[in-house]
Structure 1
Amino acid sequence: MAIDVRSATEAYLHLIPLARELAATAYTREAHWLLLCSKLVALAIAALLARIDLAAMLAASLRSRAKPNRSAFAISFVILFSYFALEMPWFAVADWHRERSYGFSHQPLAAWAAEYAIQSLVTALVGAPLLAGFYAAARRTGPRWWVWGTGLAALGLVLALVVQPVALAPILHRYAPAPAGEMRTAVERLVASGGVGGVGGDRILVYDGSRQSSRYTASVTGIGSSATVLLSDAMFAQGADVGAVRAVVAHELGHQRHAHPLQLAIFLTFVVGVGLLVAQRSFKSSARLLGRSELSLADPAGLPILLGIFAVYTLVTTPLVNTAERLVEADADRYGLELAREPDGMARAVLATADYRASRPTRLEEFLFYDHPSNARRIEAAMEWKADHAASAASALRCADCRSGNAARPSADLAGAEKCNAASDGIHEGI
Structure 2
Amino acid sequence: MNDPLAWLDETAQDRRAAGLRRSLTPREVVEPLVDLASNDYLGLARDPRVVEGAVEATRTWGAGSTGSRLVTGTTRLHAALEEELAAFCGAEAALVFSSGYTANLGAVTALSGRGAVVVSDVAAHASLVDAARLSRARVVVSRCSVPAEVDAVLAEAPETRRVVVTDGVDSVDGGLAPLGELAAVCRARGAVLLVDDAHGLGVRGPASRPGAGLVAEAGLMRERGVVVTATLSKSLGSQGGVVLGDADVIAHLIDAARSFIFDTALAPAAAGAAQAALGVLRDEPERVAALHAAAASVAASARAAASWAGVAEPTAAMVPVVLGEPELATAARDACAEAGLRAGCFRPPSVPEGTSRLRLTARADLGADDLALVDRVLAEVLPAVRGTALTG
Q: TM-score range by the shorter chain?
A: under 0.3
More helix by share: 1
Q: TM-score, normalised by structure 1?
A: 0.23
Greater Rg over alpha carbons, structure = 1
More strand by share: 2
Q: TM-score, normalised by structure 2?
A: 0.25
